Amino acid sequence: MAIGFSFTHPAADHASVGIATYYSDVFHGKKTASGEVYEKEKLTAAHRTLPIGTRIKVSRLDNGRAVVVRINDRGPFVKNRIIDLSYAAAKKIGLVGTGVAKVKLEIIGPGNPGVSLTEENLQELMDIVNQENWW
């Protein structure tokens, strides 16, 4: 499988490290900044500055678990937090029990703003991301 894209963002050349949280259930069914409805079972997230549609790998530093999400909203708006994950994404990295954790964010690419990651296509994308020198 060949992947090609051109993508520039101020953070594109390095990873960000900080605190992640996840959306409360009260946001399920509400509109996000992208205009789509937040669905807690999709692998999406909110970031303050990354373009809508950007795909990023979120790695939890204390347990090594990772997930790839698509940015579809803005936030978090709490000091010292760098990303709000959907419930499904938080569950993948074991964040649901703790509520907050230190993570590393790595930009994968711009993606398609209208396509959410699902259980079905997640493994394929994670296999690509985890290949040495995949880019």
CATH at residue 96: 2.40.40.10
Question: Is the residue at 82 inside a domain?
Answer: yes
Point out which residues pair with 113 in neighbouring strands. none
* 108 touches 70 (CB < 8 A): no
Total residues found in the chain within this entry: 135
Question: Is the residue at 125 inside a domain?
Answer: yes
pLDDT tens digits for range 23-71: 988 889 999 999 999 999 999 999 999 999 999 999 999 999 999 999 9
Question: Is the residue at 6 inside a domain?
Answer: no
Q: How many domains does the chain have?
A: 1
Spatial CA neighbour of 135 closest among 69, 55, 72, 62? 55
For residue 126, pLDDT over 90 is answered with: no
Question: Is the residue at 30 inside a domain?
Answer: yes
- Predicted pLDDT at 15: 79
Record the pTM: 0.74
Question: Is the residue at 3 inside a domain?
Answer: no
Question: Is the residue at 91 inside a domain?
Answer: yes
Q: 95-112 in b/e burial notation, b at 16+ Cβ within 10 A?
A: beeeeebebbbbbbbbbe
Range of the domain at 78: 26-130
- E-strand ranges in the chain read 16-22, 44-46, 55-60, 66-73, 81-85, 101-109
For residue 8, pLDDT over 50 is answered with: no
Question: Is the residue at 17 inside a domain?
Answer: no
Question: Is the residue at 7 inside a domain?
Answer: no
For residue 6, pLDDT over 50 is answered with: no
pLDDT more than 70, % of the chain: 71
